Amino acid sequence: MANKMKIFQFPCREDNYGVILSDPETGLVISIDAPEEEPIADVLEDKRLKLTHILTTHHHGDHVAANAALKAAHACEIIGPKKEEAKIPGIDKSVDHGDTFELQGQRIEVIGTPGHTLGQIAYYFPDQKAVFAADAMFALGCGRIFEGDAAMMHLAMQRLAALPDETKVYAGHEYTLSNARFAVTIDPENKALIERAKEIEHLRDEGTPTLPTTIGVEKETNPFLRAHDPKIRALLVMESATDEEVFAEIRARKDRF
Ligand SMILES: [Zn+2]
């Protein structure tokens, strides 16, 4: 069993989250993406950490903006998605869906989560019971489809949902309040969702992060993981459609919400 890592989540930019993982025993220090230099540098300085790795999820500017500056300051290694390697600043090594690698004894599994971009990947740390899903799965939501299609995004969400229920899900953005307001329009009789939506209003009033969430909570309340649910299907008048078609309809409605 690998060492327990400390995980620090902090706001960056408008609504992004930065995440740093640290293994005090080995000195392994990982930044999941690099949305903005200053908040990441502040956390590293505050915790007296030297960054050893950046794990990039996808090529969007709000996920790679600080790659070059952090690499210059820390000489860290940058690992990113193979399908987007030409677009990741400073990339040293690329990985793809199904790959597993180890950093200082920490096992990391790569899950392909296409749809938002064609090559986006998530990083699953089984020993930490945590997945870093960037712009694929959000609390009560899923990423906007920019480069792929609904079938890809459905697949991405299903791959993440297959992780153990207790897995903590860290996502790239704090979009939960708007996601909750949309979710109750799709699944209005879901008691667990209604309770959660209330709690989220309260948390956001206080400025408290709603992440990380867990796979188990998302399976119960996230409409993008509930395309099989008879009540949702009835509400959408899609009783005989495939899960993928129902998912696509929910995604299209969220785009218009
Ligand atoms: Zn993105």
Q: What is the pLDDT of residues 135-171, one digit of tens each?
A: 999 999 999 999 999 999 999 999 999 999 999 999 9
Cis peptide before 24 (omega within 30 of 0): no
Q: How far is the CA of 1 from the centre of ligand 1 (A)?
A: 33
CATH of the domain at 56: 3.60.15.10
> Residue 75: its pLDDT value, please?
97
Q: What's the number of domains the chain is made of?
A: 1
Give domain status of residue 1, yes or no: no
Question: What is the model's pTM?
Answer: 0.97
How far, in Å, is the centroid of ligand 1 from the Cα of 25?
33
The verdict on residue 150 lying in a domain is yes
CA of 135 to the centre of ligand 1 (A): 5
Handedness of CA 42, 45, 49, 50 (dihedral sign): positive
pLDDT value for 107:
97
Report CA(199)–ligand 1 centroid distance (Å).
26
DSSP alpha helix (H) spans, 76-225: 150-161, 176-186, 191-205, 215-221
In this prediction, residue 2 carries a pLDDT of: 85
Per-residue pLDDT, averaged over 9-24, amounts to: 97
Q: 125 C-alpha to center of ligand 1: Å?
A: 21
pLDDT at residue 150, rounded to an integer = 97
pLDDT band at 60, cuts 50/70/90? very high
Per-residue confidence band for 118, with pLDDT thresholds at 50, 70 and 90 = very high
Judge contact between 97 and 126, C-beta under 8 A: no
Residue type, 203: L
Tokens of 6: 């400390």
- Domain boundaries, position 151: 6-256
**Domain assignment of residue 213, yes or no:** yes
The rounded Å distance from CA 227 to ligand 1 centre is 24
pLDDT surpasses 80 at 248: yes
User: 13 C-alpha vs ligand 1 centroid, how far in Å?
Assistant: 13
Domain assignment present for 60: yes
What is the whole-number distance in angstroms between the Cα of residue 35 and the centre of ligand 1? 10
Strand partners of residue 19:
9, 32
Would the pLDDT of 1 be above 80? Answer: no
